[in-house]
């Protein structure tokens, strides 16, 4: 079964953690994740500048590790990311901003990637809110 997973919440929201646990369980059950699409506040879940207190789970880091480990297609909405200050090297240079907080394995791209993933996948699962 092919899954497309869309995440609408930041790493500190419990829904970001639920999305990660769902994605892990999907792969563990032998299913495929065609794409992860981070949209709206979900772009914060891909930021590499997040500092989590030591006694809490670093969900942003866990996401990055998960995507790298399984070589998944982790796409961050470029319009949502720019307006929230989540920039990769190219965008930071383009808009002359001092910080870069989006690195591999994440890729900035457009909403078309979500549409494409929905067409390819058997199921679209969205996570967001609290």
Partner 1 sequence: MSTLHVLSHSPFSDTRLGSCLRLLGSDDALLLSGDAVYAVLPQGSALTPLQEKTVFILEEDLLARNLDCPQWATCVDYPAFVELSIRYDKVNSWL
Measured N-to-C along each axis, helices 14-28 and 59-69 cross at an angle, to the nearest 10 degrees, of 20
Based on the shown chain and the rule CB under 8 A, indicate whether residue 115 belongs to the binding site for partner 1: no
Q: Is residue 2 within the footprint of partner 1 (CB under 8 A)?
A: no
Chosen residue from 82, 111, 118, 125 binding partner 1 by CB under 8 A: 125
From the list 7-15, 64-72, 85-93, 102-110, the region that binds partner 1 by CB under 8 A is 7-15
Those residues whose C-beta lies under 8 Å from the C-beta of residue 107, and which sit 6 or more positions away, are 73, 74, 75, 76
Question: Cβ of residue 126: shortest distance to partner 1, in angstroms?
Answer: 4
As to burial, measured by CB atoms within 10 angstroms (0-12 exposed, 13-18 middle, 19+ buried), residue 11 is: buried
- Which residues of the chain form contacts with partner 1 (CB under 8 A)? 1, 3, 8, 14-15, 18, 21-22, 24-26, 28-29, 31, 122-130
Residues with a known catalytic role: 77
């Amino acid at each position: 079964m092919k899954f497309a997973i869309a995440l609408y919440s930041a790493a500190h929201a419990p829904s970001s953690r639920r999305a990660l646990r769902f994605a892990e369980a999907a792969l563990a059950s032998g299913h495929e994740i065609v794409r992860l699409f981070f949209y709206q506040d979900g772009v914060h879940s891909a930021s590499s500048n997040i500092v989590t207190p030591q006694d809490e789970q670093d969900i942003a880091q866990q996401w990055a590790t998960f995507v790298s480990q399984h070589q998944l297609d982790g796409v961050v909405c470029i319009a949502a990311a720019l307006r929230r200050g989540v920039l990769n090297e190219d965008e930071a240079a383009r808009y002359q901003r001092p910080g870069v907080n989006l690195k591999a394995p994440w890729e900035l791209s457009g909403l078309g990637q979500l549409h494409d993933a929905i067409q390819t996948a058997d199921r679209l699962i969205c996570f967001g809110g609290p």
